[in-house]
Amino acid sequence: MTQSQYQNLKTTEYQNLTENELQALIEKAEKALKTKQANKRKEVIAQIKELAASIDVAVEIYEGDKRSARKGVKVPVKYRHPQDPEKTWTGRGVTPKWMQTLIDAGHDRSEFEV
């Protein structure tokens, strides 16, 4: 679809779709975008290798997994506020204000362990 065709789409065409139809359209568009991006990446890598070979240079391109190994790892709660059980802390990072206030008031951190 060209830029002018894209601009000529009427908003009413989308407004007539159900939520499920819109969601399906979004998912198809995201899949098409990812496919195009992957193909473009392959083309560029092939061009790089071709240019490198033209001057007798070997190029190695590593495409490792970019995800963090720690992503999604849940850390269990280690401390809980005595009056408000919604306030918790894992013991990592900056001490939350509620914990610091209680420590400043003379309490010991061990009093709030879960």
Q: What are phi and psi of 26, to 5 degrees?
A: -65, -45
First to last CA, the chain: 58
Which one is predicted more confidently, 76 or 10? 76
> Domain residue spans in the chain?
3-54, 79-112
Output the pLDDT for position 2: 65
- Express each pLDDT in 52-84 by its tens digit: 999 999 888 887 666 666 667 788 889 988 888
Q: Classify residue 30 by its DSSP letter.
A: H
Residues in the chain: 114
pTM value? Answer: 0.45
The C-alpha atoms of residue 4 and residue 6 are separated, in whole angstroms, by: 5
- Express each pLDDT in 12-62 by its tens digit: 677 888 889 889 989 999 999 999 999 999 999 999 999 999 999 988 888
Output the pLDDT for position 65: 63
Q: What are phi and psi of 67, to 5 degrees?
A: -75, 145
